[in-house]
Amino acid sequence: MATYLKTAPAASTRAETDSKVRTTVETILADIEARGDQAVRELSGKFDNWSPPSFRLTEQDIEAAIAKVAKRDLEDIRFAQAQVRNFAQKQKAALRDIEVETLPGVILGHRNIPVDAVGCYVPGGKYPMVASAHMSVLTAKVAGVKRVVASAPPFKGGAHPAIVAAMHFAGADEILVLGGVQAIGAMALGTETIAPVDMLVGPGNAFVAEAKRQLYGRVGIDLFAGPTETLVIADDTVDAEICATDLLGQAEHGPTSPAILLTTSDKLARATMDEVERLLTILPTAEIARQSWRDFGEVIVCADDAEMVTIANSLAFEHVQVMTRDPDYFLAKMTNYGALFLGPRTNVAFGDKVIGTNHTLPTRRAARYTGGLWVGKFLKTCTYQKVLTDEASALVGAYDSRLSMLEGFAGHAEQANVRVRRYGRRNVPYATAAD
């Protein structure tokens, strides 16, 4: 039986907050749909104090922004993008078009077709998330998406130079300096000056996530996302410093970001709680991390690795850092997670920024039914069929005729029957199951 040394007292407050966000987003999206550019401009001025002549950057604007980025920073962006591109290319190579003959004269196949147009949102509030440009824009381009629109909010009165550089290097076809729900709405619904896209991807705050949720169906989305989550699974092979560091490293994302320690060591659990308090006295982002840890942090002591797997699968967290004697045990046994980080030599920040796996991952237990953003999310696997011989058409037609009549679909049956008559040269009475 697991022992909870620390629980998350604020977790139950989310429903009320979600309701307020939902109402606000509904109003904003309706306004954008009704008034287009005018609404977007007013909303951007209201929320971001940003209302330029055009939200879209010109080539000259892009070049000017890149010129402001330090050479070392540009090199680091290119290195990170090389890792993301390489892994995305390997993933795409694993997805093959197929064509097989399933019966004599019957050919079935599928093609992996890229989405035509994608909108990529790159958060840029308290933390301008340069890496999100790699994860969304670059991955979409590797998939073969023809038109990628990238949007990020203004930063200190203009475009964030490093974000613009990352978007441009990743292959964005259009770059917008536009944030929040107004960016999501403009890309999805379209305005007089912004053509609509077919799919929206990328992380964001609660309002951005809710906008994507409400627009899902009118456009595709990558996944439903909430506040960043991290789960550290550890035993006595590691120490409190590394556990506390990995917990706070993700808690700094925001005041509602859950961070949980799951361990078989009571000693490590208590030492980690002490170490968290010590690190909060020196961490520059402690104000946010402290609130997140206080309200959403948990520490759970389990009897053995098997119990840790059970609880971890139930939590279905976005990030799962495993630091145990046998990390591969968790790779083999765990089924619900956004991404695994196996062993103390790696960590969530590697995945967030540079190592090559995608950092847009499922939260709020969505890992029970979906993985994160990857090249395959931008591809539609579309089937086709060909029947090459009269004999095959008549054979399949007879089965289809009987199965259609079994369900009461006479029109379906006639689609089959006309082939049985024509290609099988058999007299089947109208709207009757073929013999």
Active site residues: 318-319
Would you state the structure tokens that stand for residue 415, as one six-digit string? 């689609």
Q: Which residues have a Cβ under 8 Å from the Cβ of 288 and sit 6 or more positions away? A: 126, 251, 252, 253, 254, 255
Token readout for 56 is 């879209």
Distances (CA, A) of 132 to 214, 330, 354: 22, 28, 11
Torsion region of 140: left, alpha or beta (phi above 0 gives left; psi -120 to 50 gives alpha): alpha
The amino acid occupying position 37 is: D
For residue 379, list its beta bridge partners: 114
- For residue 210, the one-letter residue type is E
Say how far apart CA 332 and CA 107 lie, in whole Å: 37
CA-based torsion, 334, 310, 13, 366: positive or negative: positive
User: Could you give the CA distance from residue 362 to residue 302 in angstroms, rounded to a whole number?
Assistant: 25
User: Would you give the DSSP letter of residue 103?
Assistant: E
- In sequence order, the 6+-apart residues with CB closer than 8 A to the CB of 56 are 174, 175, 176, 193, 194
Q: In 37-144, which residue ranges form alpha helices assigned H by DSSP?
A: 37-48, 59-67, 71-93, 131-133, 139-143
